[in-house]
């Protein structure tokens, strides 16, 4: 079968910790004619996959995905921010606090896996000489007492173990989850962007969602605000004379 005769498909990459299930379900409901293939990749592999056309779009961490390889002409948008946490053994002294700062970590040793789920320019503490291949390998080493690990919170949840806990680091750089896709934007990529942004199936591209209908409480508040703006404050209106009684001159 030639490429021209091949059925159209949409190839979506995603990185560990990201859960695209909701958007994929909507796509499959709306675009039954175009199968969606999910491709699991590490953060560092998403930009090369966009560059060589292996995938049509990636849900990845920005700008971490662009730290190693330029995907060529591309677009990207941010979706949400992830809190950065430190993963420590359950009996570690740092577990005494509900939240930590980078100053709390200056005396600790840290593991920096080669798959780099979080790019940290100003690394706290001291770095362990050995760099594990993956975040999963680093988690094993944290449990063995080799060092601590900074990761986006979703990865700490993904690799949860009973002998480890994590704490938010309030002043650490956050991780941004976003979409990355090549330029020019293909029609299928635009369709997926519409799903992520909540566009209805019947909406044309770029059309904004209609404003939701206001509740009775909201309508009453709007009327009250309009009266006050016009100088008609409730309770301050003039009283009309009772029937049959004339006003005194």
Residue-wise pLDDT for 49-93, tens only, equals 999 999 999 999 998 888 878 888 999 999 999 999 999 999 999
Q: What CATH number should be reported for the domain whose range is 10-81+175-196?
A: 3.40.190.10
Residues 6+ apart with CB under 8 A from 169: 84, 85, 86, 99, 100, 101, 102, 105, 150
Decide if pLDDT at 222 tops 50. yes
Least confident of 28-32, 120-124, 157-161: 120-124
**Can you tell me the mean pLDDT for 207-212?**
42
**Identical fold, 10-81+175-196 and 84-168:** yes
pLDDT at residue 130, as a whole number: 93
Asked if residue 166 has pLDDT above 80, the reply is yes
Among 246, 183, 196, smallest CA distance to 19 is for 196
Residue 228 or residue 177, greater confidence: 177
Number of Cβ within 10 Å of residue 101's Cβ equals: 14
Residue 210 has pLDDT above 70, yes or no: no
Pick the CATH number of 84-168 from 3.60.20.40, 3.40.228.10, 3.40.190.10, 1.10.730.10: 3.40.190.10
Rounded to whole angstroms, the Cα distance separating 82 from 219 reads 36
Q: Under a CB-based contact definition with an 8 Å cutoff, are residues 102 and 124 in contact? A: yes
Average pLDDT over residues 224-240: 53
Indicate if the pLDDT at residue 233 is higher than 50: no
User: Whole-number mean pLDDT of the chain?
Assistant: 84
Q: Pairing mode, if any, of strands 84-89 and 149-152?
A: antiparallel
Residue 3's pLDDT is 44
Mean pLDDT of 33-59: 95
- Which pLDDT band, with edges at 50, 70 and 90, does 2 fall under? very low
Spans of all domains in the chain: 10-81+175-196, 84-168
């Amino acid at each position: 079968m030639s490429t021209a005769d091949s059925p159209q498909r949409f190839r979506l990459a995603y990185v560990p910790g990201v859960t695209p299930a909701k958007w994929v379900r909507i796509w499959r409901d709306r675009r039954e004619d175009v199968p969606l293939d999910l491709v699991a990749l590490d953060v560092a592999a998403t930009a090369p996959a966009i560059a060589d056309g292996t995938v049509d779009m990636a849900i990845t961490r920005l700008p971490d995905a662009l730290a190693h390889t330029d995907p060529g002409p591309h677009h990207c948008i941010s979706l949400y921010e992830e809190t950065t946490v430190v993963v420590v053994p359950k009996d570690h002294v740092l577990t005494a606090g509900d939240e930590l700062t980078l100053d709390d970590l200056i005396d600790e040793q840290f593991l920096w896996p080669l798959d780099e789920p979080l790019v940290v320019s100003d690394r706290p503490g001291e770095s362990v000489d050995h760099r594990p291949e993956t975040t999963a390998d680093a988690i094993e080493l944290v449990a063995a007492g080799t060092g601590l690990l900074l990761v986006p919170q979703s990865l700490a949840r993904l690799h949860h173990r009973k002998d480890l806990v994590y704490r938010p680091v309030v002043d650490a750089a956050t991780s941004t989850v976003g979409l990355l896709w090549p330029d020019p934007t293909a029609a299928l990529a635009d369709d997926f962007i519409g799903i992520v942004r909540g566009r209805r199936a019947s909406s044309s591209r770029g059309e904004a969602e209609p404003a939701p209908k206001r509740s009775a409480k909201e309508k009453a508040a709007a009327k009250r605000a309009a009266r006050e703006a016009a100088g008609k404050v409730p309770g301050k209106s003039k009283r009309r004379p009772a029937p049959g009684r004339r006003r005194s001159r």
